[in-house]
Amino acid sequence: MKMSTLPVRGTKDYLPKEVEVRDYLRTKIENTYKKFGFNKINTPAMEDIERLNKSDGGENLAMIFKLLKRGQKLDLSSPDLNENDLVDSGLRYDLTMPLSRYYANNRHLLPTPFKALQIDKVFRAERPQKGRLREFYQCDIDIIGDASINAEMELIAATTSALKAIGFSDFTVRIDERRILTDMILAAGFSQEDIASVCISFDKLDKIGLDGVKSELLEKEYAPATVEKFMQILSAADNDALATAEKYCSNPDVIANLQKVLAFSNSISEGNFTTVYDKSLVRGMGYYTGMVFEIVSPKFGSSIAGGGRYDGMIGKFVGESVPAVGFSIGFERISAIFMEENFVPPAKEKLVLAYEDTDNFADVVLKAKSLQAQDKIVIMLKRSKKFGKQLDMLIAEGAKLLINFADGSSKVLS
């Protein structure tokens, strides 16, 4: 019987060339982060289902892949079964929740502040569509235990350096502060309970424009006067964002720190990127408590990194408040850009060692090993009827030189 060979819906097989590009990017990014002293950690893909369900994942909670209980723990005979009876764990939907648990579990063994680096797979039951995968990699750095804005600044320095290391330039770092937007919302006359809902509408500014946001807020039946006042504040911010922020923000330190981080990011750019205060940067996750940032590349018309401060989350595990801030590079987006551009990563010299069936294969291997010791890739290939076709395929994969085992003669391939 012949079985279906397609990967599961929403997942994909990576061909060798794509793996090479992805590994190249991963290694470059990882090495840059390590030079800033970030510590690579590894957490399990599986997490306790209760922990996942109670985590700060927002809409991701509806996309958790859940794992069926096993053995006697799975009881299908009960009359009113619900999902919770059937599952005991699930696959992580991001790397932040596992990091919080990891830090709480191991903090006595970790330095303070703890600078974590994770590049690993996460799982989400997304509706499959172009560019949306159900298994994909995230690439996060986080600083845990530093309440000062040096944490934000170090993350910006490390992330912009990593992007530079893989060849990105002319990108823009956008920075905002949750508390400024919150204060503007309150200043307009919305109540504390309205903040989340107003943020959700405001987050669509890029897509639907200010008029669209206004319509949506009115549709949500907020008082027209309140909505109008909010629009006035935002219009004022359009003219002079920082002055407006200063006017409405209740905490002067928030503004001072924002200005410090903006100045910092400009100072370290070395002409490679620009930095702006972007009053309309909301960033979806409900857990952000302070500064939020995003990096956009106009050339590729998309966000390639994002993050922010989330001082509340780790405390849920530790039992006491622990400050934390994170920055995540969109690894899948960046890999897709490099694939679209037909990027070929630098590679070791690749050569083909051709031998006859009558040659002593041990001698062929010893010859190959001696060439490998010179840091070359050596593909041993037996001369047969298929030799020409096989060689063409290897040339397409970058083989540059053919060596005849028998007489040691060589020929440049092209």
Least distance from a second copy to the Cβ atom of residue 117, Å: 9
Instruction: Output 82 or 129, the one with its CB closest to a second copy.
Output: 82
Least distance from a second copy to the Cβ atom of residue 219, Å: 27
Least distance from a second copy to the Cβ atom of residue 371, Å: 9
Scanning 101-109, 168-176, 273-281, 302-310 for contacts with a second copy by CB under 8 A, the matching segment is 101-109
Binding positions for a second copy, 155-194, rule CB under 8 A: 157, 161
Among positions 131, 298, 319, 408, the unique one binding a second copy when judged by CB under 8 A = 319
Among positions 76, 193, 271, 414, the unique one binding a second copy when judged by CB under 8 A = 76
Distances in Å between the Cα of 132 and the Cα atoms of 20, 90, 126, 308, 336 are 21, 20, 7, 23, 11
Least distance from a second copy to the Cβ atom of residue 179, Å: 21
Instruction: Output 46 or 195, the one with its CB closest to a second copy.
Output: 46
Instruction: Output 319 or 408, the one with its CB closest to a second copy.
Output: 319
Instruction: Output 194 or 332, the one with its CB closest to a second copy.
Output: 332
Q: Does 412 bind a second copy (CB under 8 A)?
A: no
Which residues are within 8 A (CB) of 145 and not within 5 positions of it... i.e. 6 or more apart? Answer: 112, 113, 114, 322, 323, 324
Q: Does 413 bind a second copy (CB under 8 A)?
A: no
Scanning 119-127, 195-203, 218-226, 305-313 for contacts with a second copy by CB under 8 A, the matching segment is 119-127
Which residues are within 8 A (CB) of 353 and not within 5 positions of it... i.e. 6 or more apart? Answer: 364, 367, 368, 371, 378, 379, 380, 381, 403, 405
Rounded to whole angstroms, the Cα distance separating 271 from 162 reads 15
Per-residue binder mask for a second copy (CB under 8 A), 18-57, x = binder: xxx-xx----------xxxx-xxxxxxxxxx-xx--x---
Long-range contacts of the stretch 333-339 (C-beta < 8 A, 24+): 333/300, 333/302, 333/303, 333/304, 334/25, 334/166, 334/304, 335/18, 335/21, 335/22, 335/25, 336/131, 337/300, 337/304, 338/21, 338/25, 338/166, 339/18, 339/21
Instruction: Output 46 or 205, the one with its CB closest to a second copy.
Output: 46
Helical spans, DSSP H, in 107-204: 150-165, 178-188, 195-202
Among positions 393, 406, 409, 411, the unique one binding a second copy when judged by CB under 8 A = 393
Q: Does 132 bind a second copy (CB under 8 A)?
A: no
Return the H-helix or E-strand segment holding 207: helix 205-219
Q: Does 377 bind a second copy (CB under 8 A)?
A: yes
Instruction: Output 16 or 346, the one with its CB closest to a second copy.
Output: 16
Which residues are within 8 A (CB) of 394 and not within 5 positions of it... i.e. 6 or more apart? Answer: 350, 352, 379, 381
Scanning 246-254, 304-312, 323-331, 386-394 for contacts with a second copy by CB under 8 A, the matching segment is 386-394
Binding positions for a second copy, 338-367, rule CB under 8 A: 348, 350, 360-363, 365-366
Q: Does 287 bind a second copy (CB under 8 A)?
A: no
Rounded to whole angstroms, the Cα distance separating 229 from 236 reads 11
| Residue 263 structure tokens | 């100045």
Binding positions for a second copy, 244-273, rule CB under 8 A: 263-264, 267-268
Counting residues that bind a second copy (by CB under 8 A) gives 101
Rounded to whole angstroms, the Cα distance separating 26 from 331 reads 8
Least distance from a second copy to the Cβ atom of residue 178, Å: 22
Least distance from a second copy to the Cβ atom of residue 58, Å: 18
Scanning 85-93, 189-197, 205-213, 404-412 for contacts with a second copy by CB under 8 A, the matching segment is 85-93
Instruction: Output 178 or 367, the one with its CB closest to a second copy.
Output: 367
Long-range contacts of the stretch 346-349 (C-beta < 8 A, 24+): 346/24, 347/20, 347/377, 347/398, 348/375, 348/376, 348/377, 349/375, 349/376, 349/377, 349/400, 349/401
Return the H-helix or E-strand segment holding 277: strand 273-277
